[in-house]
């Protein structure tokens, strides 16, 4: 291995991989609740129509901001669902949400610009900020506060280098949604400090509260300072298609387009066709899909509430539940290892989502209730 062949910024990650120990043990009866990928398949009508389009020649590069008809469908969706006027020039079709966040950071950050990330966070954010030359600054939230944003902590985190704040609601990993009150205060905060908000709006359908999902971009004064990142991965059960979109002011979209042209040129044509059909037929499958996950998170909450050494909030959005295991006296890594060794159940230690995730575990309800039942039957027998 010649580490000089690698960029110095990635050399440590190779050393970490080489020294990270044994290959993890697998069990025949393993229940894997660590994966954020829905177990159900993409709605058949999306697959059938995209297949037909591929047979009819939609197998080539597309317009670099995406098929015009898909961009139009995205604008229509924002109008009908949120009563938001989004112009065609404000839409960019991306290679899913992950690339969308990465190119967003590339588009807005100068070396040393600070980006506030609310903890616990989706774990690629800090590296995405760093890869674009920025500096992540973390603001903690806690279960006691329903994982809503602490505005005193947010104020304390702002410096003259702060450029952007990344938010994600419904949230991975906490399973909460920001209330309208939180979003309203956040909008005021962003305007007061002249910040860009990068809104990772990828679980919008999975909102179980009376307050239906409202994009922060729709709050007064926010459209001109919000970069909204949408993905077809979760709402449309299309993780493998790798397609999403960005909504932002047109001059930001033009820069994002240039960066993307130099990286991947366009999102995959067949996936864009699938996204188009998904949007056209969303009403036919959205409720069915959401209800599957809603039933699971409610079940998970009920079972976890019955375990004396667990504290847990009801899930108000997404398909994750984020209980505290603090009463066991173990860290999230120790608990997750014990759960894996003794119960053959895999979850993600909360610490992976930032410091304030410590003493929590993230359970993905991406398996059926039979599997969840078995996992909780095993888990509740653990002793400490
Ligand atoms: C909060 C959040 N953002 C972004 C992503 C990335 O999704 P994709 O790249 O599939 O659109 C995920 C995936 O789990 C996520 O949980």
Instruction: Please work out whether the CB of residue 118 comes within 6 Å of at least one atom of ligand 1.
Output: no
Separation between Cα atoms, residue 207 and residue 214, nearest integer Å: 10
User: Residue 19 above 60 pLDDT?
Assistant: no
Whether the CB of 148 sits within 6 Å of ligand 1: no
Per-residue pLDDT, 9: 82
Are residues 70 and 247 in contact, defined by beta-carbon separation less than 8 angstroms? no
Confidence of residue 111 (pLDDT cuts 50, 70, 90): very high
Judge whether residue 23 has pLDDT over 60.
no
Give the number of the atom of ligand 1 that is nearest the alpha carbon of residue 96: 11
Q: 96: Cβ below 6 Å to ligand 1?
A: yes
Q: Kindly give the distance from the C-alpha atom of residue 171 to the centroid of ligand 1, in angstroms, as a whole number.
A: 10
Which tens digit of pLDDT belongs to each residue from 250-281? Answer: 999 999 999 999 999 999 999 999 999 999 99
Q: Which atom of ligand 1 is nearest to the CA of 122?
A: 1
Instruction: Label residue 10 by pLDDT band (50, 70, 90).
Output: confident
Question: Tell me: the pLDDT tens digits for 337-354?
Answer: 999 999 999 999 999 999
User: What average pLDDT does the segment 163-169 reach?
Assistant: 98
Rg (C-alpha) for the chain, rounded Å, is: 21
User: Given this model, what pLDDT does residue 15 score?
Assistant: 66
Fold held by 3-41+284-379: 3.90.1150
Q: Is the CB of 169 under 6 A from ligand 1?
A: no
The pLDDT > 90 percentage for the chain reads: 93
pLDDT digit string, tens, across residues 200-214: 999 999 999 999 999
| Position 53 pLDDT exceeds 70 | yes
**Higher pLDDT, residue 5 or 311:** 311
Non-local CB neighbours of 301 within 8 Å, separated by 6+ positions: 312, 314, 315, 321
User: For residue 24, how far is its CA from the centre of ligand 1 (angstroms)?
Assistant: 25
Residue 24: the pLDDT is 62
Q: How far is ligand 1, taken at its centre, from the CA of residue 98, in Å?
A: 6
Assigned fold of 60-282: 3.40.640
Q: For ligand 1, atom 16, which residue shows the shortest CA distance?
A: 172
Task: Check: CB of residue 366 under 8 Å from CB of residue 319.
Answer: yes
Cβ of 321 closer than 6 Å to ligand 1, yes or no, is no
Q: What is the 3-state secondary structure (H, E, C) of the chain?
A: CCHHHCCHHHHHHHHHHHCCCCCCCCCCCCEECCCCCCCCCCCHHHHHHHHHHHHCCCCCCCCCCCCHHHHHHHHHHHHHHHCCCCCHHHEEEECHHHHHHHHHHHHHCCCCCEEEEECCCCCCHHHHHHHCCCEEEEECCCHHHCCCCCHHHHHHHCCCCEEEEEECCCCCCCCCCCCHHHHHHHHHHHHHCCCEEEEECCCCCCECCCCCCCCHHHCCCCHHHEEEEEECCCCCCCHHHCCEEEECCHHHHHHHHHHHHCCCCCCCHHHHHHHHHHHHCHHHHHHHHHHHHHHHHHHHHHHHHCCCCCECCCCCECCEECCECHHHCCCHHHHHHHHHHHHCEECEEHHHHCHHHCCEEEEECCCCHHHHHHHHHHHCCCCC
Give yes or no for a contact between 150 and 140, defined as CB atoms under 8 angstroms apart: yes
For residue 240 the two structure tokens come to: 């493998």
pLDDT of residue 17: 63
- Kindly give the distance from the C-alpha atom of residue 126 to the centroid of ligand 1, in angstroms, as a whole number: 14
pLDDT of residue 346: 97
Question: What mean pLDDT comes out for the span 281-294?
Answer: 97
Domain boundaries, given as residue ranges, for the chain: 3-41+284-379, 60-282
Residue whose CB lies within 8 A of the most ligand 1 atoms, among 94, 97, 230, 362, for a mutation test: 97
Measured by CA distance, the residue closest to atom 13 of ligand 1 is 36
As a whole number, the mean pLDDT across the chain is 96
pLDDT score recorded for residue 143:
97
Q: How confident is the model at residue 18 (pLDDT cuts 50, 70, 90)?
A: low
pLDDT at 357 over 70: yes
Residue 94 beta carbon below 6 angstroms from any ligand 1 atom: no
Weakest-pLDDT range from 25-29, 125-129, 231-235: 25-29
Gap between the Cα atoms of 171 and 117, Å rounded: 13
Compute, in angstroms, the gap from residue 202 CA to the centroid of ligand 1: 7
Tell me, using a 6 A CB cutoff, whether residue 364 lines ligand 1: no
Ligand 1 pocket residue status of 120, Cβ below 6 Å: no
Check pocket membership of 201 for ligand 1, CB cut-off 6 A. no
Atom of ligand 1 nearest to the CA of 244: 11
Would the CB of 266 count as within 6 Å of ligand 1?
no
């Amino acid at each position: 291995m010649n580490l000089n062949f690698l960029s110095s910024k990635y050399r440590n990650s190779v050393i970490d991989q080489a020294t990270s120990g044994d290959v993890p043990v697998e069990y025949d009866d393993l229940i894997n609740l660590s994966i954020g990928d829905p177990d159900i398949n993409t709605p058949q009508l999306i697959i059938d129509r995209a297949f037909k389009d591929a047979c009819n020649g939609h197998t080539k590069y597309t317009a670099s901001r995406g098929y015009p008809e898909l961009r139009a469908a995205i604008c229509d969706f924002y109008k009908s669902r949120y009563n938001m006027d989004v112009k065609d020039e404000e839409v960019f079709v991306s290679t899913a949400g992950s690339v969308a966040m990465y190119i967003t950071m590339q588009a807005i950050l100068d070396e040393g610009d600070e980006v506030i990330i609310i903890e616990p966070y989706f774990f690629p954010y800090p590296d995405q900020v760093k890869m674009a030359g920025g500096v992540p600054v973390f603001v903690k939230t806690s279960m006691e506060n329903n994982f809503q944003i602490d505005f005193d902590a947010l104020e304390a985190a702002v410096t003259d280098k702060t450029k952007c704040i990344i938010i994600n609601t419904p949230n991975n990993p906490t399973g909460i949604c920001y209330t309208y009150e939180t979003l309203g205060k956040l909008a005021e905060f962003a305007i007061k400090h002249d910040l860009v908000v990068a809104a990772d709006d990828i679980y919008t359908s999975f909102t179980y509260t009376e307050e239906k999902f409202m994009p922060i971009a729709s709050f007064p004064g926010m459209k001109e300072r919000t970069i909204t990142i949408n993905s077809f991965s979760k709402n449309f059960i299309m993780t493998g298609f790798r397609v999403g979109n960005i909504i932002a002011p047109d001059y930001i979209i033009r820069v994002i387009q240039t960066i993307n042209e130099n990286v991947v040129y366009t999102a995959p044509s067949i996936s864009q066709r699938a996204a188009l059909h998904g949007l056209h037929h969303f009403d036919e499958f959205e409720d069915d899909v959401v209800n599957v996950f809603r039933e699971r998170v409610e079940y998970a909450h009920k079972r976890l509430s019955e375990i004396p050494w667990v504290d847990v909030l009801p899930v108000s959005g997404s398909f994750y539940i984020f209980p505290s295991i603090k009463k066991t006296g173990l860290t999230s890594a120790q608990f997750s290892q014990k759960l894996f060794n003794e119960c053959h159940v895999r979850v993600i230690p909360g610490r992976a989502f930032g410091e304030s995730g410590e003493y929590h575990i993230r359970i993905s309800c991406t398996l059926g209730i039979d599997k969840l039942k078995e996992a909780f039957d095993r888990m509740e027998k653990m002793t400490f």
